[in-house]
Chains A and B, each alone.
Chain A
Amino acid sequence: MEPRRVVITGLGAISAIGKNVAELTDALRRGACGIRPIELVDRTKLRFSSGAEVPGYDPADYFDPKEAGLLDRFAQFAVIAAREALRQAGLEPGSPLFRRAGIVTGSCVGGQTTEDEGFVDLYLRGRPRINPLIIPKTMANAGASRISLEYGIKGPVYTISTACSSSNHAIGQAFWAVRSGMIDLAIAGGSEAMFSMGILKAWEAMRVVSLDTCRPFSKDRSGLILGEGGAMMILETLESARSRGAAPLAEVVGFGMSSDAHHLTQPSVEGPALAMQSALDDAGLAPEAIGYINAHGTGTVTNDPTETAAIRSVFGGHAAKIPVSSTKSMHGHTLGAAGALEGVASLAAAREGFLPPTANFTEPDPACDLDVVPNASRPGNPEFVMSNSFAFGGLNAVVVYRLLA
Chain B
Amino acid sequence: MPEEVRDRVIRCIAETQHLDPETVTIDSTFEELGIDSLDGINILFALETEFEIDIPDDAAQNIRTVREMVEGVERLLAEKVNSGAQEQS
- Whether the pair B57, A264 counts as a contact (CB closer than 8 A) is no
Closest to B41 in A: A207
Q: Which residues of A contact B44 (CB under 8 A)?
A: 207
B41 touching A264, Cβ below 8 Å: no
The answer to whether A266 and B56 have CB atoms under 8 Å apart is no
Bound-state CA distance A222–B56 (Å) is 13
A47 beta carbon closer than 8 Å to chain B: yes
Task: Report whether B60 and A263 are in contact in the complex, using a CB–CB cutoff of 8 Å.
Answer: no
C-alpha gap A222/B58 in the complex (Å):
9
Given A205-B45, A207-B44, answer yes or no on A264-B38 (Cβ-Cβ < 8 Å).
yes
Q: Is the CB of B41 within 8 A of A205?
A: yes
- A382 to B43 CA separation, bound complex (whole angstroms): 47
Q: How many Å from the CB of A224 to the closest CB on chain B? A: 12
Which residues A77-130 have CB closer than 8 A to chain B?
none
When C-beta atoms are compared, the residue in chain B nearest to A264 turns out to be: B38
Question: Quick check: A265 and B45 within 8 Å, CB to CB?
Answer: no
Interfacial chain B residues near A246, Cβ < 8 Å: none
Q: Indicate if the CB atoms of B60 and A265 lie closer than 8 Å.
A: no
The answer to whether A266 and B57 have CB atoms under 8 Å apart is no
> Is residue B7 contacting chain A, with contact meaning CB distance below 8 A?
no
B37 interface residue per 8 A CB criterion: yes
Q: Does B50 contact A (CB under 8 A)?
A: no
B36 near A207 with CB under 8 A, answer: no
In residues 26-84 of chain A, which contact B (Cβ within 8 Å)?
A: 47
Report yes or no: A47 in contact with B57, Cβ–Cβ below 8 A: yes
**Closest chain B CB from A326 CB (angstroms):** 21
A residues less than 8 Å from B60 (CB atoms): 207
Interface magnitude class on chain B = 10 to 19
Q: Are A207 and B57 in contact (CB under 8 A)?
A: yes
Is A266's CB under 8 angstroms from B38's CB? yes
Query: Residues 369-386 of chain A: 1 if any B CB is under 8 Å from the residue's CB, otherwise 0?
Result: 000000000000000000
Interface string of B55-85 (1 = CB under 8 A from A): 0110010000000000000000000000000
Are A47 and B56 interface neighbours, CB within 8 A?
Answer: yes
A320–B78 alpha-carbon span in the complex (Å): 50
Which residues from chain B contact A207 at a C-beta distance below 8 Å? 41, 44, 57, 60
Closest CB in chain A relative to B62 CB, distance in Å: 11
Question: How far is A209 from B56 in the complex, measured between Cα atoms in Å?
Answer: 12
Q: Which residues of chain A are near B54, meaning CB under 8 Å?
A: 47
> Are A206 and B41 interface neighbours, CB within 8 A?
yes
Q: CA A206 – CA B44 in complex, angstroms?
A: 10
Q: Is A283 an interface residue (CB 8 A)?
A: no
Residues of A within 8 A of B56 (CB): 47
- Which residues in window 1-59 of B have CB below 8 A to A? 36-38, 41, 44-45, 54, 56-57
With A207-B57, A207-B60, A211-B57 as contacts: A266 and B41 at CB distance below 8 Å: no
- Name the interface residues of A143-189: CB closer than 8 Å to any CB of B: none
B3 CB, min distance to chain A CBs, angstroms: 25
| Chain B neighbourhood of A223, CB < 8 A | 57
Residues B37 and A266 in contact, CB atoms below 8 Å apart: yes
Chain A proximity of B43: nearest CB distance (Å): 12
Cα(A207)–Cα(B56), bound, Å: 9
CB contacts (< 8 Å) of A264 on chain B: these are: 38
What separation, in Å, do the CA atoms of A185 and B73 have in the docked complex?
58
Q: CA–CA, A266 to B35, complex, Å? A: 13
- Nearest first, the 8 A-B pairs at minimum CB distance are A265-B38, A207-B57, A207-B41, A205-B45, A264-B38, A266-B37, A206-B41, A205-B41
Which residues of chain A have a CB within 8 Å of any CB of chain B?
47, 205-207, 211, 222-223, 263-266, 302
Q: Which residues of B contact A (CB under 8 A)?
A: 36-38, 41, 44-45, 54, 56-57, 60
* Other 6 A-B pairs with CB < 8 A, given A205-B45, A263-B38: A207-B44, A207-B60, A222-B57, A263-B36, A265-B37, A265-B38
8 CB-based A-B contacts, threshold 8 Å: A47-B54, A205-B41, A205-B45, A207-B44, A207-B60, A265-B37, A266-B36, A266-B38
